[in-house]
Amino acid sequence: MIKIENLSKSFKDNKDEFWAVKNVSLDINRGEIFGIIGLSGAGKSTLIRCLNRLEEPTEGSIIIDGVDITNLSKGDLRKERKEIGMIFQHFNLLSQKTVYENIAFPLELEKMDKSKIKERVDKLLEYVELTDKKNAYPSQLSGGQKQRVAIARALANNPKILLSDEGTSALDPKTTKSILALLSKIRQELGVTIVLITHQMEVVKDICDRVAIMENGKVIEENTVENLFKQPKTKTAQAFIDTLSSNFEEEIINPEDFKGKLIRLSFLGNNAKQPIVSKIIRNFNIDVNILSGNINKLQSNSVGHLILELLGDCEEVQKAIEFLNNENVHVEVI
């Protein structure tokens, strides 16, 4: 649905040219929640802002449903932008307007009939559960409520794409969960394709289907969220996974401190429910020491990790590792 091809964006400062986005190519499918994660300065905001041309790309193309939006005239771009809603970290609401007026604003720009605007805004208020705040001003709302208003406003024109530029970064963990649940509902019920940028692995874990990891303007890894957790391809991906608190134990495990062979197991879904540890103890003449373990619940599946010390005869340990591999468990010797 969205095809980003060799996209680059540079900023010129006097004679110096700085490439904030370098040669990025991505395919985003219809109805998908696609995450772009990276540290501060990686180029995420610049990339997502190119998707509706809030930033003008320097090179490359962005094709949305067959239309290259990098070549559109101003008039055509205005039409295309109605199909692309956007929310921001700091909500960007109009402080002098009420909740109702903020949501009505894009419809007024479209010169929609007043009674139709009322019908649409009332429906959106109900959808984001803010009917009782209709006449409040943004300053009278919590962060989560402000973001709900911004989401309702972004949905006013029935867009096919919703862009989220760090939409949950200014919110506490509980409010973040409720906004992520709302985004999931929007994808599920309205079929909107969502592209979000974040620096929070929690967001990727909770709602994304696929993810791209950015570093220094480039995409260094693209993966399904399941495979990212199961077998990250880059150190940066592993570092993001480690930011989830339950993975902290791994950092303090030093293989040199142990006599046996240390292995890290990763397993998906149903395999996470099998008693694999008792199976290897029963089937092989080894002892097993559990050093750390966790299960991350993704939106589609669960991914479990276990770090074990296997003690015993080399041959038996090797057989146990082969057994685990055959059980569809990914084994990495540490």
Alpha helices in 35-98 (DSSP H): 44-50, 74-81
Q: How far is the CB of 199 from ligand ATP (least distance, A)?
A: 6
Binding status of residue 14 toward ligand ATP by CB under 6 A? no
Say whether 236 sits in a helix, a strand or coil.
Answer: helix
Q: How far is the CB of 213 from ligand ATP (least distance, A)?
A: 11
Angle (nearest 5°) at CA 24 between 195 and 301: 45
Binding status of residue 168 toward ligand ATP by CB under 6 A? no
Among residues 146, 210, 222, the alpha carbon closest in space to that of 179 is found at 146
What dihedral angle (degrees, nearest 10) is formed by the CA atoms of 105, 109, 113, 117? Answer: -20
Binding status of residue 45 toward ligand ATP by CB under 6 A? yes
The residue from 4, 22, 35, 46 that contacts ligand ATP (CB under 6 A) is 46
The window from 38-46, 74-82, 249-257, 265-273 that contacts ligand ATP (CB under 6 A) reads: 38-46
Site string for ligand ATP, 177-206 (x = CB under 6 A): ----------------------x-------
Nearer to ligand ATP, 106 or 167 (CB): 167
The window from 40-48, 77-85, 147-155, 292-300 that contacts ligand ATP (CB under 6 A) reads: 40-48
Contact 64, 2 (CB under 8 A): yes
Binding status of residue 57 toward ligand ATP by CB under 6 A? no
Binding status of residue 22 toward ligand ATP by CB under 6 A? no
The residue from 20, 280, 288, 317 that contacts ligand ATP (CB under 6 A) is 20
Say whether 186 sits in a helix, a strand or coil.
Answer: helix
**Run of H or E residues at 203:** helix 201-207
The residue from 35, 38, 159, 304 that contacts ligand ATP (CB under 6 A) is 38
- Both tokens of residue 59? 């090179």
Among residues 102, 98, 103, the alpha carbon closest in space to that of 136 is found at 98
Angle (nearest 5°) at CA 72 between 24 and 80: 90
Q: Which residues bind ligand ATP (CB under 6 A)?
A: 11, 18, 20, 38, 40-46, 199
